[in-house]
Amino acid sequence: MKPAQFQLLQPTTRAEALAVLAEQPDETVILAGGQSLVPLMNMRFVTAERILDLNRVSGLGGVEVRGDRLVVGAMTRHREAELSPVVLDACPLLAHAERHVGYVSIRNRGTVGGTIAHADTVAQVPCVAVALDARIVLESVRGRRELAAGDFFVGNLMNAREPDEAVTEVHFPVRPVGSLFGFAEFARKVGDFPLVTAAVRLEQGAGLSRSARIAVGGAGPTPVRLAECESALEGRELTGALAEEVGRLAAESVSPADSPFVSTDYRRNLVRVVVRRALEQALDCGEELR
């Protein structure tokens, strides 16, 4: 199928893009990389009178460190974030998660801001954003505001963006020195949509875990932090046995919906597996630092 007829708008500056969006916000859909939107339009699951294409807008891409934050422009391509030495140094968890996004051809076009705005519960970058309590920057002609990732995602494919707002930046905290990280997912094959994702970051003190952060995607309508699992890691040395214990606790902590394709029990078991694998990656990371 082909998309329904629409008006294509291609501004070249941020101010122009926000002004165009403000004219008819309820009739306008924003196009970033198009890796999710275009297929939905072709199948006519999404129709719009106006498509606001951000690909010609200058100044919406790129990565840089500002103080204690890694600032990622909304139009930064996944491949750029994956390969950037700045991202790898400041937020390696994001760089590692990006490697799991689709295929290279998809990462060459898809954007960090696009996947955040799309708000798919199983997407890799939203899972990392929730784990790290990233800040989502929204702009409109009315001004600028920031939302924590946990407040931005409100349901599967649903976010807290107002119709006249655009995601312009995503801010990730810079990795504390010596912290450990891990990312894991389960997909039927490489490049497929994952069924479950898990992101982990642990700060270390005297060989013990502290300030643990664990998030999973695909176990509910939004990616979620697992507070009980984080508490279970506090003040303990990360080992393979502890990773297995926390994985089991993670499975008990979630209540995924049943579906004709994936049962609740099966998805819970996947949560156990991916959380354990993410923690084992963090353990390997710790071995490399010694």
* pLDDT band for position 210 (cuts 50, 70, 90): confident
Is 28 found in the same domain as 110?
Answer: no
Q: How far apart are CA 116 and CA 74, in angstroms?
A: 9
Question: In this structure, is residue 1 part of a structural domain?
Answer: no
For the stretch 77-130, pLDDT in tens is: 999 999 999 999 999 999 999 999 999 999 999 999 999 999 999 999 999 999
Is 185 found in the same domain as 168?
Answer: no
Question: In this structure, is residue 2 part of a structural domain?
Answer: no
Is 284 found in the same domain as 186?
Answer: yes
Is 162 found in the same domain as 68?
Answer: yes
Give the strand pairing for 50-53 and 28-31.
Answer: parallel
Is 86 found in the same domain as 45?
Answer: no
Is 163 found in the same domain as 70?
Answer: yes
What is the model's pTM? Answer: 0.94
Query: How many domains are contained in the chain?
Result: 3
CATH code where residue 274 lies? 3.30.390.50
Is 156 found in the same domain as 216?
Answer: no
Q: Which domain holds residue 236?
A: 180-289
DSSP per residue over 167-216, as a string?
Answer: EEEEEEEPPPTT-EEEEEEE-SSTTSPPSEEEEEEEEEETTEEEEEEEEE
Question: In this structure, is residue 94 part of a structural domain?
Answer: yes
**Distance from chain centroid for Cα 130:** 7
Q: How far apart are CA 26 and CA 33, in angstroms?
A: 21
Question: In this structure, is residue 210 part of a structural domain?
Answer: yes
* pLDDT band for position 290 (cuts 50, 70, 90): very low
The last residue of a domain, from among 138, 173, 208: 173
Q: How far apart are CA 87 and CA 84, in angstroms?
A: 5
Q: How many CA atoms lie within 13 A of 272 on its CB side?
A: 12
pLDDT at 287: 53
User: Is residue 192's pLDDT more than 90?
Assistant: no
Question: In this structure, is residue 136 part of a structural domain?
Answer: yes
User: What's the CA angle centered on 272, arms 219 and 290, to 5 degrees?
Assistant: 120
Question: In this structure, is residue 226 part of a structural domain?
Answer: yes
27 DSSP assignment:
G
CATH code where residue 13 lies? 3.30.43.10
pLDDT at 171: 98
Is 162 found in the same domain as 89?
Answer: yes
Is 238 found in the same domain as 157?
Answer: no
Which of 129, 109, 247, 233 has the alpha carbon at shortest distance from 186?
247
Is 166 found in the same domain as 184?
Answer: no
Q: How far apart are CA 158 and CA 117, in angstroms?
A: 8
User: Is residue 258's pLDDT more than 70?
Assistant: yes
Residue linked to tokens 């498509």 = 51
For the stretch 124-159, pLDDT in tens is: 999 999 999 999 999 999 999 999 999 999 999 999
pLDDT at 286: 57
CATH code where residue 116 lies? 3.30.465.10
Which of 74, 78, 81, 84 has the alpha carbon at shortest distance from 109?
78
Four-point Cα dihedral 205, 206, 208, 209, nearest 10: 10
Is 13 found in the same domain as 88?
Answer: no
Q: Judge contact between 96 and 51, C-beta under 8 A.
A: no
